[in-house]
């Protein structure tokens, strides 16, 4: 099994995901300070975990409120499968789609069961291969082309 090294951030991530799993509403509210205290760390560590593990790209939405009765709310988002492709189609056709958007796209297609886990990984690998390109502009163009072709193919074979 791919067991993760247990540093503080990983532990906190696991803990929060566990809570999310247990919650029927698919969302949890926490107190930043309390959580930090529970893990014996500074409060800003919580932000670090949220920023690196609970991003939109990874399918989470984080909201918060300061002051008295403040909170941090983490929600697992479920996007409508049918609209995902359309959402990104514009960017891709325009040849302008950044890496983080693409990763989000792959993630969402997988979550919506449009592609399998293996397929998502193959697409990620393809994305990864572009890293050898130095020229940022060319890389952007290729990224768009790559996903244009792959998505088109998916549409074709799904008919």
Partner DNA sequence: CCCGGTTTGACCATCTTTGACCTTTACAAG
Partner DNA sequence: CTTGTAAAGGTCAAAGATGGTCAAACCGGG
The residues of the shown chain that bind a copy of itself, judged by CB under 8 A, are 1, 5-7, 10, 25, 29, 65, 68-71, 116-119, 121-126, 128-130, 132-133, 141-142, 145-146, 148-150, 152-154, 156-157
Rule CB under 7 A: say whether 9 interacts with DNA. yes
Of 105, 109, 112, 114, the residue nearest 157 (C-alpha): 114
Q: Which does 114 bind (CB under 5 to 8 A by kind): DNA, a copy of itself, none?
A: none
CB atoms within 10 A of CB 23: 14
42 lines the binding site for DNA (CB under 7 A): yes
Q: Are strands 71-76 and 60-65 parallel, antiparallel or unpaired?
A: antiparallel
**Shortest approach of a copy of itself to residue 153 CB, angstroms?**
4
One residue of 19, 20, 41, 133 binding DNA per CB under 7 A = 41
For residues 31 and 72, is the Cβ–Cβ distance under 8 A?
yes
At residue 72, φ and ψ (nearest 5 deg) are -130, 125
As a whole number of Å, the end-to-end CA separation of the chain is 36
Q: Which residues bind DNA (CB under 7 A)?
A: 1, 7-10, 30-34, 41-48, 52, 64-72
């Amino acid at each position: 099994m791919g067991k993760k090294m247990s540093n503080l951030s990983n532990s906190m991530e696991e803990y929060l995901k566990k809570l999310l799993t247990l919650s029927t509403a698919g969302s949890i509210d926490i107190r930043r300070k309390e959580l930090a205290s529970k893990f014996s760390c500074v409060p800003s560590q919580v932000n670090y975990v949220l920023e690196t593990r609970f991003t939109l790209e990874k399918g989470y939405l984080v909201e918060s409120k300061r002051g008295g009765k403040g909170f941090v709310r983490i929600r697992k988002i479920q996007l409508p499968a049918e609209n995902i492709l359309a959402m990104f189609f514009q960017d891709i056709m325009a040849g302008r789609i950044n890496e983080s958007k693409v990763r989000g796209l792959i993630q969402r297609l997988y979550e919506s069961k449009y592609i399998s886990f293996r397929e998502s990984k193959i697409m990620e690998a393809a994305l990864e291969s572009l890293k050898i390109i130095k020229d940022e502009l060319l890389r952007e163009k290729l990224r768009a082309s790559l996903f244009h072709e792959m998505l088109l193919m998916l549409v074709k074979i799904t008919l």
